Structure 1
Amino acid sequence: MKLLITGANGFVGKNLQVHLNEMPDVSFKCYTRENHVSELKSMLQDVDAVIHLAGVNRPQHEQEFQEGNADLTQALADSVRSVSKEQKRRIPILYSSSIQAERDNPYGRSKKAAEDILRKLYGETQNPVYIYRLANVFGKWCKPNYNSMVATFCHNIARDLPIQINDEKAQVQLVYVDDVIEALLKIAFKAITAIRNKKPAPVSGLKLAGPVHTKTVGDIAKHIQAFKNSRETLITERVGTYFKRKLYSTYVSYLPTDKFTYTVPKYGDERGVFVEMLKTPDSGQFSFFTAHPGITRGGHYHHTKTEKFLVIKGKASFKFRHVVTNEFYELFTDGDNPEIVETVPGWSHDITNIGNEEMVVMLWANEIFDREKPDTYASPVLNNTEQTKK
């Protein structure tokens, strides 16, 4: 399959190019500001579909709205009409319009005019046309301090620069760039395949480009600030799913290279060191510790807290004792054979480095450590012989 991308060097276009480069059976051509409308017809000769991203949203002169949105789209439609007639084939067009097309302003009117031009093309030729009225698109590589609030907030907060909020309660509609690209390519590939197989293409008209997230300006700013603050508190936002996953990924993409890393506190004594890495609101925390040869750590039990240990370097002996029955259990593990060891409520436990080198152990606890309610009670673990003597 071969695509023509207009506006290929823009925010969405750059992301789209990267996605297409990952697909071995897809190639593409790029129409950019360096090209002239007179080149469109020749560029369309061997393409299967057009993803029309080119447009103007912040011109110096109002007339540029008409030229960059409606007039360019008219030139594209005319070129597609001509090539389709000459080659007796259809060339689907997927157009990135805007929710502003519903509004009576210069930008909105120019986007609506472009939509109407494409609808007319479809009405006259049945050439498939798919119009995506995009909300505010956010994601990596969007230009800050231009027309994206999210990009500006991410860029400035990552650099300790101030942000300006006029109305915290103002609502905005957002759509993530990868969702947009997924939606565009899904329909493009379906349309191309249908045309090749001489079957009906997906129905032309308005299409949805991924889920639209409606958020307040204040909430977005708070989330992004919390992402930044997590380096100090070590408490992460819930960034694994849905909107916050996308927003966090966007924020991280704006970090300057000198902020790709950050330090965390390290606590050390004669036994080794202890370092906390990450804390979550509802899924515990992650840390690691070291122990010198012969050193034992632990010697306590919990009522509710649970933990998972993973020795990643060295050799370890884990000992357990039931705090009521005194039942004893011992196991051995090492870094060459990854094995998770769980602590069990009501069992006192400890870990001893039985090797000749420093031992390194990853640790997950199901809750953030609370000094006011640590749920940790000292209770040495005795081996079978010591327990019998007792």
Structure 2
Amino acid sequence: MRLAVTGAGGFLGWHVRVLARALGWPEPVAVPRAELADPAAVAARVDGTDRLLHLAGVNRSGDGRITHDNVALARAVARGLRRCAAPPKTVVYANSVHAGNGTPYGDAKAAAAEVLAEACADAELVDVRLPNLYGEHGRPFYNSVVATFCYQLASDARPRVEQDRELDLVHVGDAAALLVDAPPGGAWDARLPALRIGVAALADKLAAMAATYGTGEIPPLHDRHDVRLFNTYRSHCFPGRYPLPLVRHTDARGELVELVRARGGAGQAFCSTSRPGVTRGDHFHLAKVERFAVLRGTAEIALRRVGGTGVVRFAVSGERPVVVDMPTMWAHRITNTGRAELLTAFWANEVYDPEQPDTYPEPVGA
């Protein structure tokens, strides 16, 4: 599937690109906002692709700017489509459930959909009305109240509830699956299963997760939204709060180290040995919570956010046991940097399923 994406650098756009990577599709063609004013440049990028996703938009600004900018972006895409020799078969618009609700934002989203519909004479327009999205690496005070609360908790601040109301929350990875028409059977669910929760209850839920995780324990993860909310919180903790120290108990018999205390679920634990210079990993997960702990030897744990370039490195040793929890959608690996055999313990919140392993090859790089 050859995708072209406006807003590829945004919250939803990044998750679309990660999902495409997980599916083994070509890297989506990004249509930069700086080029949208040039119809020929837009056409050059979009021409011959299978699916154009129009994700670029403005969520928060002055009322006039919200209306003007969202409609202007749609018009720019429309002009580019009209210049295409081989326009995409499908144009997908990331609309909102608030479209046409009488607010500046809702009316702007509805007007933008009409502009795109007029330009899609030779293509199918899929108008997807998305609810409130949350997920890893959302911008606090912009993308989602979940991002705001997670950012505040990761900064040791208490979430502040300005107005309590009911929300329908959908994980952004599920929305990405719907937009790209992903096949079923992965960590995503294009049916958009929603979590219905009040803002105050959400703040309490995330605060409880943060408090438990602050002790080094894994909070209860009863369902897929619990897992994804926890992963969202962890994305705001990484890398500053890692590695996490482990308590070492010693007596005449030897040593005991508690690797993981998981409330509400056991998951799966395993150990591996690695010879000097050997690397394990070079993959990423979309939803799985995974913990690494070196028990003997020395190693480097390296991670890179999918689509990014910077590599985060942790030097770890069995002499001072710590754990590093792998953030979702970060490629990661562990390399034996010592002269002796490396013994590493691993834990995941779910039992490995070879039919749905939630593990996607991705080199961390240099």
Q: Shorter-chain TM-score: what band?
A: 0.5 to 0.7
Instruction: Report the identity percentage.
Output: 26
User: What is the DSSP-based 3-state SS (H/G/I as helix, E as strand, rest coil) of the residue aligned with 2:218?
Assistant: coil
Aligned counterpart, 1:140: 136
Match of residue 253 from structure 2: 271
| CA–CA distance in structure 1, aligned partners of residues 146 and 161 of structure 2 | 12
Matches of 2:198 and 2:25 in 1, distance apart?
Answer: 41
What code does the residue aligned with 1:277 have?
A: L
Aligned with residue 246 of structure 1, among 206, 228, 232 = 228
Query: Is the 1:276–1:286 Cα contact (8 Å) retained in structure 2?
Result: no
**Range with bigger deviation, 233-242 or 127-136:** 233-242
Q: Residue 64 of structure 1 corresponds to which residue in structure 2?
A: 65
CA contact (8 A) 1:173 1:213 kept: yes
Partner in structure 1 of residue 42 of structure 2: 40
Q: 5+ unaligned residues in a row in structure 1: which ranges?
A: 191-207, 289-311, 314-359, 365-390
* Higher RCO (Cα < 8 Å, 6 or more apart): 2
Hey, what does 2:146 align to over in structure 1?
150
Higher gyration radius (CA): 1
1:52 alignment partner in structure 2: 54
Which amino acid is the alignment partner of residue 57 of structure 2?
A: G
TM-superposed deviation, 1:7: 0.9
2:221, 2:265 within 8 Å by CA — same for their partners in 1? no
Structure 2 residue 17 is matched with structure 1 residue 17? yes
Name the counterpart of 1:5: 5
Q: TM-score, normalised by structure 1?
A: 0.61
Q: What do residues 2-61 of structure 1 show as CA deviations (whole Å, max 9, x unaligned)?
A: 2211011111112222333445542432122322322223322222220110111112x4
Contact 1:101/1:111 (8 A) holds in 2: yes
Give, as a single letter, the amino acid of the residue that structure 2 aligns with 1:106. Answer: P
Aligned to 1:96: 94
Does the 8 Å CA contact 1:65/1:106 hold for their aligned counterparts? yes
- Which of 96, 107, 110 in structure 2 is aligned with 1:109? 107
Deviation of residue 82 (structure 1)?
4.5
Matched, 1:177 2:172: yes
> In 2, distance between residues paired with 1:285 and 1:245?
12
Shift of residue 221 of structure 1? 1.7
Which SS does the other structure have where 1:277 is aligned? coil
- Which structure dedicates a bigger proportion of its chain to helix? 1
1:80 corresponds in structure 2 to 81
Q: Give the RMSD, CA atoms, in angstroms.
A: 3.3
Instruction: Name which of 142, 162, 165 aligns with 1:166.
Output: 162
TM-score by length of 2: 0.64
CA distance in 2, matches of 1:129, 1:284: 45
Measured at CA, do residues 25 and 228 of structure 1 come closer, stay the same or move farther in structure 2, by a change above 3 Å?
Answer: closer
Aligned to 1:355: none
Alpha-carbon shift at residue 92 of structure 1 (Å): 0.7
Contact 2:220 / 2:263 at 8 angstroms: preserved in 1?
yes
How far is 1:121 from its partner?
4.3
| Partner Cα distance (1:119, 1:182) in 2 | 22
Cα contact 2:134–2:146 (8 A) shared by 1: yes
Partner of residue 219, structure 1: 201
Alignment deviations for residues 102-139 of structure 1 (CA, whole Å, 9 cap, x no partner): 421101100011122334445xx262111111112111
Q: Given that residues 170 and 192 in structure 2 are in contact (C-alpha distance below 8 angstroms), is that contact kept between their aligned partners in structure 1?
A: yes
- Rounded to whole Å, the distance in 2 between the matches of 1:271 and 1:287 is 24
| Deviation for aligned residue 1:240 | 6.2
